[in-house]
Homo-oligomer: A and B are copies of this chain.
Amino acid sequence: MEVTNRYIAIKNHIDGAPKESDFELRTSALALSVDPGSGDMVVKNLYVSIDPYQVNRMKNYSSSHKSIRFSVAITPGEVIDAPGLGKVVASGNPKFEKGDLVVGIVSWAEYTLVKEESIINKLDPMGFPLSYHIGVLGFSGLTAYGGFFQVGKPKKGEKVFVSAGSGSVGHLVGQYAKLFGCYVVGCAGSKQKVTLLKEKLGFDDAFNYKEETDLKSTLKRYFPDGIDIYFDNVGAEMLEAAVANMNNFGRVALSGVISEYTDAKKRAAPDMLDVVYKRITIRGFLAADCMNVYTDFLSTTLDHLRTGKLQVLEDISLSLENIPSSFIGLFRGDNIGKKIVKIAEE
């Protein structure tokens, strides 16, 4: 049996903020069968993850292209691989059977032909919503957990600042930090998000960066005793302001710099005298570097979820066609929590 597989592609390389006209819905014929023993399989995608890092892959040139396998360049017109989950509809791989739920790298498409060497695993929902497995229990959670604990190296009572505090990663970082015993302030881009951070997620404090004119003073106000750990998701001025307010031996876990992704001229120029004299560490990392804490991450996170200590923010849109607008919205801060597109019912 063959189907017309619909997928989202870029029409051209993107070097600024992405817009609807950069994307198109394309189709290709796909056989819903694979050779036995080929190792390949066909997955019907149910949920796909919508992440800011994908914009770097869409550029003509980006550091990301030479980094890990999942951040290589995307070619216009071709299928875009992305984290997600689905159901096996045909398997030539002895490890998987038709009907299995799987999670890993699929694509912004209705179906994904998953090659043997792909990163994909059987999924046991463990009683949680399927979407959790590409968010809080997937890369977003691992990035938050690994970045905070491995790169941030927290001590109880330390002061933690999280930018994009209501984002897919930020809202988890703040909660891990609180549960660990740190003092946490987050920033976000709307009053509603700020309220959410304080009232639902239990951040000690939060502010709307769009209402602030001098971020250095703002952070001084929220951290009169200085910042020990800054979990950075945005870069640029916020990174500069955080470094200016850091304590001796402060650590910046550089998870992403979304404000710099869509504007090549936007750069953080932190005062390096601060970095020297306060002996600050600024360290970039990717979720892929955190696999050594994966077991810890999973058991801790499952535990927090089961005891209701960890709140999960998800922002789920429906249907493949809405991937471009969902993706574009990330750079306007439209999403609250993890942005996901549900492509099909189980």
Chain A residues proximal to chain B, CB less than 8 Å: 56, 62-64, 66-67, 71, 235, 239, 248, 254-257, 260-261, 267-286, 289
Contacts and interface: CB of A to CB of B under 8 A. Distances in A.
A239 B267 CA distance: 14
Chain A interface mostly = mixed
B284 A283 contact: no
B269 A276 contact: no
Contacts of A281: 281-284
A275 B62 CA distance: 12
Given A64-B273, A64-B277, A261-B273, 7 more contacts: A56-B273, A62-B273, A254-B276, A274-B284, A275-B284, A280-B284, A281-B281
A284 B269 contact: no
Given A279-B283, A282-B283, A283-B281, A63 B274 contact: yes
Contacts of A286: 276-277, 279
B279 A285 contact: yes
A134 to B, nearest CB: 21
Contacts of A248: 67
Nearest to A274: B63
Contacts of A235: 272
Contacts of A268: 269, 272
A62 B276 CA distance: 12
Given A67-B248, A248-B67, A276 B272 contact: no
Tally of this chain's copies: 2
Given A67-B248, A248-B67, A257 B279 contact: no
Nearest to A68: B277
A63 B283 contact: no
B260 A272 contact: yes
A282 to B, nearest CB: 4
A281 B260 CA distance: 19
A140 to B, nearest CB: 16
Contact of A272 (B62, B64, B267, B279): B267
30 contacts: A56-B277, A62-B273, A63-B271, A63-B276, A63-B278, A64-B273, A64-B277, A67-B248, A67-B278, A239-B272, A254-B275, A254-B276, A255-B276, A257-B276, A260-B271, A260-B273, A267-B272, A272-B284, A274-B284, A275-B283, A276-B284, A276-B285, A277-B284, A278-B284, A279-B283, A279-B284, A280-B284, A281-B281, A281-B284, A282-B283
Contacts of A283: 275, 279-283
Nearest to A67: B277
A233 B306 CA distance: 51
Contacts of A63: 271, 273-274, 276-278
A257 B282 contact: no
